[in-house]
Amino acid sequence: MMRRNSMTHQVKLDHLTLQSTLADLPSHDFLVGPRVLGSVVAARFEAEPELPGVVIRAGERLVGAFSRRQFLEKVGKLYGIEVYLNRPVAIMVKNIGPRHIALQSTQTIQSAAEMVLRSPANFFEDALIVVFPDGHVALIDVRVLILAQSHLLGLVTEIEQQRRQLAESMQRIGRELSGSLELGQVTKRILKELNKVLSYERGLVMLADGEHLKTIAKRGFPKDIKKHDLLIPIRDDEDDVFRRIVESREPIWLDDVTGDESWTQRDDLPVNYSWLGVPLKHQGRVMGMLSLTREERAGFSEDDVRLVQAFGSQAAVALENARLYDEITHLNNHLEEMVSQRTLELNKAYEILERLDKNKSDFISVAAHELRTPITVMSGYAQILETLPVIQGDVNNKMMVGGINTGIKRMHRIINSMLDIARLDSDTMKIHAEPLLLPLLLGKVGMELTKGMAGERRVALDFSAVDDSLSAVLADPDLMQKLFHGLLVNAIKYTPDGGEVRVAARETAVDDEPFVEVCIADTGIGIPPESLELIFEKFYQTGEVALHSSGFMKFKGGGPGLGLAIAKGIVAAHGGKIWAESAGYDEERLPGSAFYVRLPIS
Ligand code: ADP
């Protein structure tokens, strides 16, 4: 190594950190009194090439300081030897003037270097002195200070770079870990990914489970040691490592486990001297820990701990996500099970209902058939009875037999309705379809009712909105008569005396299919919205059962609740649609109802 450069080359800077002060830099002592001759200083400079300058002190008083360069420059001048070498240094101090830079030893290298670089004087020429707290004064080579500063700048960049690299790999690990949601996979992956950034002998992911730490993933263990063998009790002892981790929520590491009393070493595992435990935290709560070992003593550095700590927070998030996912999957499975169980029950109930409905239909059919015979007999005899002179000749007798006949007729109607329903239920309703002009049919039904029920109840029937030029529909005339008769009777029945029923009929098209649409609108009591569909079910009445004994023609006079079910069956059998509209049920405001029937033209 060349002597000239030795000064700066030999300077050791590796020990410096960002917090280092001037006291950590090499300094030089060269103090002389003011009366010392310049030649003495020159000789010393000659002997010690590292000396950056000289301090001149009179007792405790600092007279001045000058750098090697300033000194040599003065001496090298014409008469320099004459003026300076052979005379006291005080003369040189006087000529150069007080130009040195004084710094405190406690100042950081960074701030000192900044100060020197910012000072207006030519700092490379001026002497740099450090004052220690005890008053001691030393010289520092300005080049060493600058070198130290640039070394620290490099350190900063390196730290920055390390930080960025760590952040990047943590990000990548975070992605890797959250890529999988299955708890078993996530835990295995944690140890695998960790091994990529930090080597270790044995690793465990453990979760707190009551009074134990349960192992959910292991790495580096012999195959015959199973996860459930690695169950660690959390001891009721403040020295217990996990308890310490939970309480401090900070990592703990042991440089030599054999020296730790709270450590239990398994006989079936080789001793790994260093141990590191890092808490896995979720929302501030410690849910488990990462446990790592290394074979050598003091195997984990502070940097390693920080790295594992950063990794642990990523792992904790991934674990928590996987746990939630697990929970949801469980819940889903449970829900699915419950749904299929309920579906099964519903299906069973539905089957039972279907059977019951079938029983009811069978009963209706049987009862209707059974009742028809005796009623026909009764009807025959009653009609004969009516013609007998004994009856004809007596007003009371005539009235009584008349009553019997009306009753029989009403029973007949009910039995016929029951038979219709039975046929609809068993799909045995026969349709004898022929081209039918609805305006004619509606007119005939209307006329009949005006003469009878509508007239009696003073309910006006208005057919003016029936389009007479309507196309013919292909339909069974008897069934159509039954349908519209039923709807008109209902309209009159549920409209108070003096009301009005308006019938409209027009051609329309739905999805290019031509239909005839008939609307029967009344000014009656209306229908509650919740009943608009239910009224088409058989035996459904919104009215009170108590009114059923009242006359068939009467306002709100009850029926068996079969009329609209039959109407729906007839319309369906013709490929049409029936529905009701109403603003609601109100016997005072009388919102009215409208029944629509749509029948295909072709
Ligand atoms: P019901 O034999 O009771 O008249 P329906 O099947 O013909 O049986 O009608 C079922 C129920 O629908 C009736 O009890 C009645 O409450 C209601 N309803 C039918 N038509 C009308 C209408 N035009 N206005 C108000 N309510 C009606």
Mutate which of 449, 453, 494 for ligand 1 pocket (most atoms within 8 A of beta carbon): 494
Question: CA angle at residue 507 from 502 to 513, to 5 degrees?
Answer: 140
Mutate which of 489, 501, 535, 579 for ligand 1 pocket (most atoms within 8 A of beta carbon): 535
Nearest CA residue ID for atom 23, ligand 1: 491
Going from the C-alpha of 193 to that of each of 96, 178, 180, 295, the distances in angstroms are 66, 12, 13, 20
Q: How many CA atoms lie within 13 A of 91 on its CB side?
A: 15
CB of 522 shorter than 6 A to ligand 1: yes
Q: pTM of the full predicted structure? A: 0.51
CA of 211 to the centre of ligand 1 (A): 71
Tokens of 133: 């707290």
CA 130 to chain centre: 64
Mutate which of 421, 540, 564 for ligand 1 pocket (most atoms within 8 A of beta carbon): 564
Nearest CA residue ID for atom 7, ligand 1: 563
CB of 593 shorter than 6 A to ligand 1: yes
CA pair distance 458, 452, nearest whole angstrom: 10
User: Do 73 and 164 meet the contact criterion of CB atoms below 8 Å apart?
Assistant: no
CB of 88 shorter than 6 A to ligand 1: no
Give the number of the atom of ligand 1 that is nearest the alpha carbon of residue 565. Answer: 6
* Number of helices (H), then strands (E), in the chain: 16, 19
CA of 293 to the centre of ligand 1 (A): 85
Sequence letter at residue 145: L
User: Do 220 and 330 meet the contact criterion of CB atoms below 8 Å apart?
Assistant: no
Placement of tokens 């609740």 in the chain: 561
Nearest CA residue ID for atom 14, ligand 1: 541
CA of 348 to the centre of ligand 1 (A): 32
CA of 490 to the centre of ligand 1 (A): 6
CB of 308 shorter than 6 A to ligand 1: no
CA of 470 to the centre of ligand 1 (A): 28
For 342-381, b where at least 16 C-beta lie within 10 A, e where not — what string? eeeeeeeeeeeeeeeeeeebeebbeebeebbeebeebbee
CA pair distance 246, 286, nearest whole angstrom: 6
Mutate which of 413, 414, 541 for ligand 1 pocket (most atoms within 8 A of beta carbon): 541
CB of 563 shorter than 6 A to ligand 1: yes
Helix (H) or strand (E) holding 277: strand 274-282
Nearest CA residue ID for atom 4, ligand 1: 559
Give the number of the atom of ligand 1 that is nearest the alpha carbon of residue 561. Answer: 8
Q: What three-state secondary structure class fits 117?
A: helix
Nearest CA residue ID for atom 11, ligand 1: 541
Give the number of the atom of ligand 1 that is nearest the alpha carbon of residue 542. Answer: 16
CA pair distance 205, 289, nearest whole angstrom: 6
Q: What is the pLDDT of residues 463-511, one digit of tens each?
A: 999 999 999 999 999 999 999 999 999 999 999 999 999 999 999 998 8
CA pair distance 493, 482, nearest whole angstrom: 16
Cα dihedral 563→566→570→573 (10° resolution): 160
- Of the candidates 522, 524, 519, the residue with the CA atom closest to the CA atom of residue 508: 519
CB of 524 shorter than 6 A to ligand 1: yes
Q: What is the pLDDT of residues 95-141, one digit of tens each?
A: 877 678 889 999 999 888 888 877 765 666 788 999 999 989 999 98
Sequence letter at residue 488: L
CB of 420 shorter than 6 A to ligand 1: no
- Write the Ramachandran bin of 539: left for phi over 0, alpha for psi from -120 to 50, otherwise beta: left
Going from the C-alpha of 454 to that of each of 442, 443, 449, 461, the distances in angstroms are 14, 14, 5, 8
User: Do 461 and 503 meet the contact criterion of CB atoms below 8 Å apart?
Assistant: yes
CA of 561 to the centre of ligand 1 (A): 7
Long-range contacts of 375-378 (CB under 8 A, 24+ apart): 375/408, 375/411, 375/412, 375/415, 378/404, 378/408
Question: CA angle at residue 418 from 417 to 422, to 5 degrees?
Answer: 115
Placement of tokens 């013919």 in the chain: 472
DSSP state of 125: T
Residue 421 burial (10 A CB sphere; 0-12, 13-18, 19+):
buried
Contacts of 108 (CB under 8 A, 6+ apart): 18, 19, 20, 21, 22
CA 402 to chain centre: 77
Number of Cβ within a 10 Å radius of residue 214: 16
Sequence letter at residue 118: R
Cα dihedral 541, 542, 545, 547 sign: negative
CB of 535 shorter than 6 A to ligand 1: yes
CB of 569 shorter than 6 A to ligand 1: no
CA pair distance 578, 569, nearest whole angstrom: 9
Q: What is the pLDDT of residue 1?
A: 31
CB of 496 shorter than 6 A to ligand 1: no
Cα dihedral 535, 540, 544, 548 sign: positive
CA of 573 to the centre of ligand 1 (A): 21
Q: What is the pLDDT of residue 5?
A: 41
Number of Cβ within a 10 Å radius of residue 547: 15
Tokens of 559: 């029926």
Q: What is the pLDDT of residue 552?
A: 59
**Which portions of the chain are predicted below pLDDT 50?**
1-8, 548-549
Q: How many CA atoms lie within 13 A of 455 on its CB side?
A: 7
Residue 339 burial (10 A CB sphere; 0-12, 13-18, 19+):
exposed
User: Do 449 and 553 meet the contact criterion of CB atoms below 8 Å apart?
Assistant: no
Helix (H) or strand (E) holding 545: none
DSSP state of 257: G
Q: What three-state secondary structure class fits 15?
A: coil
CA of 559 to the centre of ligand 1 (A): 8
CB of 405 shorter than 6 A to ligand 1: no
Tokens of 573: 């059998």
- Of the candidates 373, 352, 467, the residue with the CA atom closest to the CA atom of residue 419: 373
CA of 429 to the centre of ligand 1 (A): 22
Mutate which of 461, 482, 490 for ligand 1 pocket (most atoms within 8 A of beta carbon): 490
